[in-house]
Structure 1
Amino acid sequence: MADFDYIASASRTISMERDAVDSLLQRLAEPFTIACDTLLQCRGRVVVTGMGKSGHVGRKLAATLASTGTPAFFVHPGEASHGDMGMITAEDVVIALSNSGNTAEVVTLLPLIKRLGAPLISMTGNPQSTLALAAVANLDTGVEQEACPLNLAPTSSTTTALVMGDALAIALLEARGFSAEDFAFSHPGGSLGRRLLLLVDDIMHTGDTMPLVPPGAPLRDALLEMTRKGLGLTGVIGADGQLAGIFTDGDLRRSLDHNIDFQKASISDVMTRHCKTARSGMLAAEALKIMEDARINGLFVVDAEGRPVGALNMHDLLRAGVV
């Protein structure tokens, strides 16, 4: 065993599976188009079924379809024969996976699927199998040889089925015009969901938690307001209620460099006018981009009239998982 060449074995396996996937390109023809059209016209759900390793691939296919705009779920063929057929309706489309196309547990379901009137799409390695001939479209995922040196363990065949399933899901995604925002709705707990769904309104500090001072306020009062609110900034609000400027920790450091008299200076003397702001209703990810582009750590959220309605800083975005 010490002399066994693991790299050579792995290289052979990868090469065989790569060649098997490449061969799928020659088999993308009318059945694939029929399968896509059938799935797009489905008024119910897509029901995926398969036994053994094909079942594992089927579960992944159902999950991929469901997360990319095609409602789908997996039904184990053995359980379907013992009650779970009730999960399938005439409005559904069934996708059945079997490398041989003659898997007993799957073939047993064919009369029931036909009786329901649900269209059947098969994914098999044998276009002349029972399952393939019963389907409105058969997607040929056959391989000349498994990567397993005994040609027994499903390896290349499961890889081609997995890739064909992905090709099917992505073709449907593109045909539906499925967007990143749509994807985020299916993944609200993920980082993409947070970036695409979270608004500044969901995380900003509002009301009394906003650090605000009037334009004539002494600088020392502005510093106290910054300390109390703990956001590293304070807004300067004008008589018209609009945001007149902002003073931040960075401005404080610059004021020290210019020997500002903190006892006598007014906030108007040191504030930054025409500051960067976010709009109410803006995505938190957009606010993050404003902050990154301007190299600032916080900003105010204003309404259509320029009045401050909230404030947030980089720590808020970090806590919300946007960064």
Structure 2
Amino acid sequence: MNLATPPSTASPAGFDRDRAVRLAHETFDIEAAAVQGLKARCGDSFAQAVEAMLAVQGRVVVMGMGKSGHVGRKIAATLASTGTAAMFVHPAEASHGDLGMIKPVDLVLIISNGGESDEITVILPVLKRLGAPLVAMTGNAKSTLARHADIVLDCGVDKEACPLNLAPTASTTAQLAMGDALAVALLDARGFQAEDFARSHPGGALGRKLLTHLSDVMRTGEAVPSVPPDAEFPALMREMSRKGLGASAIVDAAGRVLGIFTDGDLRRLIEQGIDLRAMKARDVMHAGPKTIRDNALAAEAAQQMEQFRITSVLVVDADGILVGAVNSNDLMRAKVI
């Protein structure tokens, strides 16, 4: 095969593009209607389920077979990442030993559209004897699962998006939406904040923004360019070149920031034709530069750079003493921006 040759755009024999698009639109309509239909059935039982999950001392154990099982794994993951301890246990594995993972202090959330899956019905009596509260998310309020449950969340749909009305499509979308609704109600009731979310997502973009402090990424010690105000201009240039920040702080004897001189300042002075050889740092510095506290988040430095259209920020302590510096490249390496 010649990789340089683009694949053929010819449609396979018998393929109807217009029909494919029409079916996609119908799928969206059917699944949107399924989710909207949940609103009329989301009332006291939903509030009871949220209250029970808030009160549980152990974990919310989510179970489901087939496509409902895939939905269950997602719901368990969403709950766990938003402040509700949760895990997924496969019903088929439960009857072969994994039931030992479930304790009376847990709450069991079982997802099944029909509510009659053999792998689920066989373990219901054991779960009831265990004494853990049982919440059913089902489309069949008269099913075996619903009869055994303490709380029933009705996720029934009028029809599946599948043209054969067989493949779980609208029903699993409704289950996902109900699971998300539970997670949202729970995180709100717990007072869950963005910082809490970041702690469970340290590897994600939000986690880096909310957990990375300037002290984690800033340059410190000898890596921070600084000169006294009476430093000769050549000494200022050498300090900037040696430290590679694109700027240098001008500090007093105590280390307090008096000003800053940047590559941009240098270009502007050269354009003006000013003879810089006799200048001192105090003559060319930009007084009262933007600084940021050393206990700030790295994302705050990024925001300040964007707001004031600058590429570096000096970091100071509570007394205004220079303790570090950071530029946009440092923040990009830390994946904060």
TM range (shorter): over 0.9
Q: State the 4+ residue runs in structure 1 displaced beyond 3 angstroms.
A: none
Name the TM-score, length of structure 1 as normaliser: 0.98
- Indicate the residue corresponding to 1:221 in structure 2: 235
Q: What secondary structure does 2:62 align onto?
A: strand
2:190 is aligned to 176
Partner of 1:34: 48
Counterparts in 2 of 1:289 and 1:3: CA distance versus 1, 3 Å: closer
2:129 counterpart of 1:115: yes
For 2:238 and 2:122, the matched residues in 1 are separated by: 77
2:333 corresponds to: 319
- Structure 2 unaligned regions, length at least 5: 1-13
After TM superposition, the score normalised by the length of structure 2 is 0.94
Please give the root-mean-square deviation of Cα atoms over the aligned residues, in Å. 1.0
SS of equivalent to 2:330? helix
Cα deviation for residue 82 of structure 1 reads 0.8
Question: Are 1:144 and 2:158 matched, yes or no?
Answer: yes
**Shift of residue 3, structure 1, vs aligned partner:** 4.0
1:287 maps to amino acid: A
Question: Partner of 1:58 in structure 2?
Answer: 72
Query: Residues of 2 paired with 1:316 and 1:21: CA distance?
Result: 45
CA distance in 2, matches of 1:247, 1:157: 63
Residue type of the partner of 2:204? G
1:212 paired to 2:189? no
Q: Write the mapping of 1:92-111 to structure 2, written as runs, cut at 5 A.
A: 92-111=106-125
Matches of 2:225 and 2:15, distance apart in 1: 69
Residue number among 228, 235, 251 corresponding to 2:265 in the alignment = 251
Distance 2:230 2:174 in 1: 72
2:207 is the counterpart of 1:193:
yes
SS in 1 for 2:219: coil
Cα distance, 1:144 vs. partner?
1.8
Q: Which residue in the other structure is 1:128 paired with? A: 142
User: 3-state SS of the aligned residue for 1:264?
Assistant: coil
How far did 1:148 drift? 1.4
Q: 2:26 matched to which residue of 1?
A: 12
Secondary structure at 1:91 match in 2:
coil
Is 1:235 matched up with 2:238? no
Q: Which amino acid aligns with 2:205?
A: S
Q: Give the count of matched residue pairs.
A: 323
Identify the residue that residue 90 of structure 2 maps to in structure 1.
76
Q: Among all aligned residue pairs of Structure 1 and Structure 2, give the percentage whose two residues are the same amino acid.
A: 55
Structure 1 equivalent of residue 6 of structure 2:
none
- Structure 1 counterpart of 2:333, one-letter code: R
AA aligned opposite 2:212: L
How many angstroms does 1:132 deviate by? 1.0
1:259-298 matches, within 5 Å, as 259-298=273-312
Question: C-alpha separation between the residues in 1 aligned to 2:106 and 2:210?
Answer: 31
Q: Distance in 2 between matches of 1:245 and 1:11?
A: 61
Q: CA deviation at 1:296?
A: 0.6
